[in-house]
Amino acid sequence: MKTPPLEPIRLNKRLAEMGLCSRREADAWIENGWVMVNGQPATMGVKVTSADNVVVDRRAHGHQESQVTILLHKPMGYVSGQAEDGHEPAITLIHGRSHWREDISKNRIQPSQLRGLAPAGRLDIDSVGLLVLTQDGRVARQLIGEDSEIEKEYLVRVTYQDHATDVQNLFPKEQLMRLRHGLSLDGKALKVAQVEWQNPEQLRFVLKEGKKRQIRRMCELVGLRVVGLKRVRIGRVALGNLPVGQWRYLSAHEKF
């Protein structure tokens, strides 16, 4: 007995669920005539089922191979995405003068690499560290898709009840356990987090989600105040020795 086809869904969603690209990227492929459904060029907004034969032209994959992913050590005072409240977006730091000299990539910055380059995740204006900007919808979906399980690691300097030193000994252990599991934000329970002391004034957080200002809000719930926050790793890609305000390309052998 054959399994009945699934309910029709938009083609761009189908392509994204197949892990081929992002929805926005799928729309561009459809516009360029690179997607066929049952032997016919796809049209924008068309819906498909599992019974439909969807084929993507090799030109789409060739276009994808030319797309870049950039790793930036974001300084304080820059916003991740669009400019707001007079603060510049992080993308303004992507130019030849700020390209890290020790980058092993043979890529060189081109105007075409800035088109469609967008942050895959956010880093607050008062936070520093690793920010990923990409043209590749596959990377964006992997890092910020609804089903993403990619770890993000942070080093977080905190104070407790106006104490800026020896915070580890003053902070109740049961509250540390709450940080790991037991807090809710926006009416929803948070996923289990790895939280441990890096030194007496600094915590190490490893999260698999990224709600707005999540770490700062988590700390507030247990009486801690964040005075410094730095993202040092996303998945298997570490910030390493990349200087503040400089960037490099994600190399071909690196995977999140």
Q: Which domain holds residue 144?
A: 66-148+237-249
In a domain, 4, yes or no: no
**Which carries the bigger pLDDT value, residue 205 or residue 211?**
205
Beta strands in 94-160 (DSSP E): 118-119, 128-134, 152-160
Count: domains in the chain: 3
pLDDT digits (tens, 9 = 90+) for 22-79: 787 888 889 889 898 998 889 998 999 888 889 888 887 766 677 899 999 999 999 9
Q: pLDDT higher for 2 or 213? A: 213
- Model confidence at 4, pLDDT cuts 50, 70, 90, reads low
Reply yes or no on whether 162 is catalytic.
no
109 and 87, same domain (yes or no): yes
Q: What proportion of the chain, given as a percentage, has pLDDT over 90?
A: 61
Amino acid type, 104:
I
**Which pLDDT value is given to residue 23?**
80
Q: What is the mean pLDDT of residues 116-138?
A: 93
Query: pTM (2 decimals)?
Result: 0.80
Catalytic residue among 52, 57, 85, 124: 124
Same domain, 185 and 136: no
